[in-house]
Amino acid sequence: MDAGSIGDRLSFLLDRLRERLWLKPLMICSLSVLAVFLAKIADSNAAIFASLPEVKAQSLDTLLSIMASSMLVIATFSVTSMVSAYASASSMATPRSFPVIVADDASQNALSTFVGAFIFSIVALVALQNNYFQKPGLFLLFSLTVLVFSIVIFTFVRWVDRIARLGRMGSTIAKVESATEKALLKNRLQPYLGGQPLATPLGEGIPVYPDDVGYILHIDMPRLQLWAKQHEVDVSVNTLPGKLVSPNRPLLYVHTPDDDLAAQERSQLQAAFRIGRERIFNEDPRFGFVVLSEIACRALSPAVNDPGTAIMVNASLLRLLSRWAAQTRTETEPQYPRVAVAKIEVDDLFEDGFDAIARDGAGTVEVATRLQKVLSDLAQNGDEEMQHAAITTGRKALEYARHALVLEADLARVVAAANYTEAKQLGHA
Check residue 366 and give its pLDDT. 94
The torsion defined by the Cα of 399, 353, 189 and 331, in degrees rounded to 10, comes to -10
Per residue in 96-124, pLDDT tens? 877 777 776 677 778 788 888 888 888 88
* Confidence bin at 426 (pLDDT 50/70/90): very low
Sign, Cα dihedral of 137, 139, 140, 145: positive
Burial class (CB in 10 A: 0-12, 13-18, 19+), 192: buried
CATH architecture of 204-276: Alpha-Beta Complex (3.90)
Q: By the 8 A CB rule, do 206 and 260 touch?
A: yes
Query: Residue 203: which pLDDT band, with cuts at 50, 70 and 90?
Result: low
**Is pLDDT larger for residue 90 or for residue 389?**
389
Among 34-43, 93-102, 251-260, which stretch is predicted with the lowest mean pLDDT? 34-43
Mean pLDDT of the chain: 82
**Of all residues in the chain, what percent carry a pLDDT higher than 70?**
85
Q: What is the mean pLDDT of residues 315-342?
A: 86
Please give the average per-residue pLDDT across 68-77, as a whole number.
82
Question: Residue 385: pLDDT above 70?
Answer: yes
Q: Which of 133-137, 186-190, 232-236, 318-322 has the lowest mean pLDDT?
A: 133-137
In the chain, where are the structural domains located? 3-167, 204-276, 285-427
Please choose, from the candidates 47, 275, 86, the residue with its C-alpha nearest in 3D space to the C-alpha of residue 172: 86
Q: Which helix (H) or strand (E) holds 81?
A: helix 57-92
CA pair distance 157, 54, nearest whole angstrom: 32
Do 197 and 333 touch, CB atoms closer than 8 A? no
- Decide if pLDDT at 313 tops 90: yes
Question: What pairing do the DSSP bridges indicate for beta strands 234-237 and 206-208?
Answer: unpaired
**For residue 424, what pLDDT band results from cuts at 50, 70 and 90?**
very low
Lowest-pLDDT range of 22-36, 107-121, 194-208: 22-36
Cβ atoms of residues 397 and 375 within 8 Å: yes
CA angle in degrees (0–180, nearest 5) for 119-121-124 = 105
- The pLDDT-based confidence of 329 (bands split at 50, 70, 90) is low
Q: Determine contact, residues 307/300, Cβ cutoff 8 Å.
A: yes
Spatial separation of the C-alpha atoms in residues 27 and 17, rounded to whole Å: 12
